Amino acid sequence: MTTSTPEPAPPDAPSQTELAAHVAKLAGRLQHGAITNLAGPVADLARLRRSLDAAAGSDPVVWRIIFAGFPEQPDEPLPSRGEYAAYLSVCLFAIHQQSKNTQMHGGGRTHCLGRAIRQLAQSGTDAEPDGAIVKRFNAVVTADDFNEVIHHLRSLVGLLRVSSIPLDYGLLADDLYQWQLSSKRSGVRLRWSRDFSRVPRVPKTGLNTDSPDPDSTND
């Protein structure tokens, strides 16, 4: 059995906290503008939706929308891992928020990828998760190619949008950054699988629905 030496994070990489905070702040601003029907954010989201399949950096307007104030922008010929993760996350968010008058970027681990997809697949605590959704989620977790991951995520984000289930795009950006590091990839997959395995709580009539999620104490 051969082992590989874990590669260190690039010296110019933003910290996970910086990356997540930047993407979350941008998604929050864009969704507020979309919900209140402000012309600028609505136009920005439309442009972002068209950019998911384009090369990062090929549209200077899109780059400016996403990366104004970004923690690190190295002077390199290709986008950094952090830039690529932010670019893809924000473009996916633009698809998620399209024509929605509620917030599709949710903050916190209750809206992480695995839990959001489990909510999508689960109609109640006693029900088996929908097999078709499980199959789509498994395809994301087991994908060996980053473009394949994004392809499957795009499909799942479309389903989350139809069901009005939010996703934390700051956390997703962190996950996509780490996936690009071979030493971190198995940890991302494990986190997604663990989060999906948590059955979502369904509030019962007459009970206090403000009680905390028991899983959230460990987040």
Cβ(215)–Cβ(138) under 8 Å? no
Q: What is the pLDDT of residues 178-191, one digit of tens each?
A: 999 999 999 999 99
Q: Residues 57, 59, 65, 66: is their CA dihedral positive or negative?
A: negative
Residue 114's Cα: distance from chain center in Å?
Answer: 10
The number of folded domains in the chain is: 1
214 in any annotated domain: no
Q: At which residue do the structure tokens 């929605």 appear?
A: 100
165 in any annotated domain: yes
101 in any annotated domain: yes
The residue segments making up the domain with residue 48 are 16-200
Question: CATH number, domain at 135?
Answer: 1.10.520.40
180 in any annotated domain: yes
Query: What is the 8-class DSSP label of residue 77?
Result: S
pLDDT at 201: 64
5 in any annotated domain: no
Amino acid at 13: A
d(CA 48, CA 99): 14
Does the pLDDT value for residue 36 go beyond 50?
yes
187 in any annotated domain: yes
205 in any annotated domain: no
Q: Which residues contact 73 (CB under 8 A, 6 or more apart)?
A: 67, 80, 83
- State the chain's mean pLDDT as an integer: 87
211 in any annotated domain: no
Does the pLDDT value for residue 173 go beyond 80?
yes
Does the pLDDT value for residue 9 go beyond 60?
no
Q: What is the pLDDT of residues 84-111, one digit of tens each?
A: 999 999 999 999 999 999 999 999 999 9
